[in-house]
Amino acid sequence: MEKPLKFNSITDLTRRLKLDPPAHPMITLVNYDQVKIDLRDAGSWFMLDFYKITFKKDFNGSVKYGPGTYDFKDGGMAFLAPGQVVQMSPDPGDYQGYALYFHPGLLDGHPLAQAIHNYGFFDYAVAEALFLSEKEKQIMEMLFKAIAIELDNHIDQFSENVLISQLELLLNHSNRFYNRQFLTRKNMHHDLISRMTIWLNARFEGADMVNNGLPSPQDIATHLNVSQRYLSDMLKTLTGKTTQQHIHLALIEKAKVLLNQTALSTAEIAYHLGFEHPQSFNKLFKQRTRVSPVQFRRDQLN
């Protein structure tokens, strides 16, 4: 990837795209139906020091994000956090719908400054866009239009609080719709869970556990070709457990088998499962089963 063009402020970006300067320096909304984008940087990579939310109501194409593309079959939304990269499309037809940009500085002093990190979709990766139903599209369109109206007003002492409230409402609806997407696409997600379980079992059965160490949530996400945050949010919605908790469950089940069917000491089992220190294994086992490995073995023998 070529070195991306970096934009520290929204004003710098709008100037580069030959758009009208933002009414507020910390937030702007681009309605692609009303503007013409300068495509001189088409194909270039952009790195933004601010957030970007893209909403496409009726769109049958793909948009380049990171090293791949989001495929918007019937419209949808994508979310970009500061420091990520986006490639500018050379196709004028890709510029449809809305693009909302807001700087983290907008949130200074507001609870959303911390709470925004709870919206995991800003860390989602390729092919993890939010696909919206027709009713959801209508709701999102109303929210974007409300933000547009507020930005068209003269800035006063209430503007920032109103804009942040509107932004928080948009994020909460996005969270709700992602939760719905996890549930309505159960077949696809259950396939991911099945593949994760098979991979974990194979990992704990492998002879290289000592060298490889304990698997991490990132290891699983990489194997499944999804982002770590998307995987964790999906698992929490469908199973009530995080990726790390699933790793621990698989590990404990393998430990039980070794305690039952081998004469290995608890220290040898700990090293076999990838622990550097037996004490860490003993602590985790007791946390999950409420008995120590030694007591578990003794109970099974009795």
- Please measure the distance between the N-terminal and C-terminal CA atoms of the chain and give it in whole angstroms: 62
Q: How far is CA 59 from CA 131, 184, 218, 232, in A?
A: 11, 21, 32, 29
Q: Residue 299: enclosing H or E segment and its boundaries?
A: helix 293-301
Nearest to 267 by CA among 216, 215, 210: 210
Q: Which overall architecture, per CATH, does domain 187-301 show?
A: Orthogonal Bundle (1.10)
Whether the CB-CB separation of 113 and 107 falls below 8 Å is answered with yes
In the prediction, which pLDDT does 126 show?
Answer: 52
In the prediction, which pLDDT does 192 show?
Answer: 86
Question: Distance from CA of residue 195 to its chain's centroid?
Answer: 20
Residue with tokens 């990766």: 125
- Cβ-based burial of 40 (10 A; exposed 0-12, middle 13-18, buried ≥19): exposed
The class (CATH top level) of 5-184 is mainly beta
As a whole number of angstroms, the distance between CA 151 and CA 15 comes to 18
Q: Where in the chain is the domain with CATH 2.60.120.280?
A: 5-184
124-144 residue pLDDT tens = 865 678 888 889 999 999 999
Mention every residue, 6+ apart, whose C-beta is less than 8 A from residue 211: none
In the prediction, which pLDDT does 110 show?
Answer: 95
In the prediction, which pLDDT does 47 show?
Answer: 92
Is 64 in a helix, a strand, or coil?
Answer: strand
pLDDT in tens, the chain (302 residues): 578 899 999 999 999 989 989 989 999 999 998 888 888 888 888 999 999 999 988 655 555 444 445 444 566 888 999 998 888 888 777 788 899 999 999 999 999 999 999 999 998 865 678 888 889 999 999 999 999 999 998 888 899 999 999 999 999 999 999 988 888 776 778 888 999 999 998 888 766 666 677 889 999 999 988 889 999 999 998 899 999 999 999 999 999 999 999 999 999 999 888 888 899 999 999 999 999 999 999 888 87
How are strands ordered across the β-sheet holding 85-87? 5-7, 45-48, 85-87, 61-65, 68-72
As a whole number of angstroms, the distance between CA 289 and CA 125 comes to 35
Residue type, 52: K
Q: Where in the chain is the domain with CATH 1.10.10.60?
A: 187-301
67-81 residue pLDDT tens = 445 444 566 888 999
pTM of this structure:
0.76
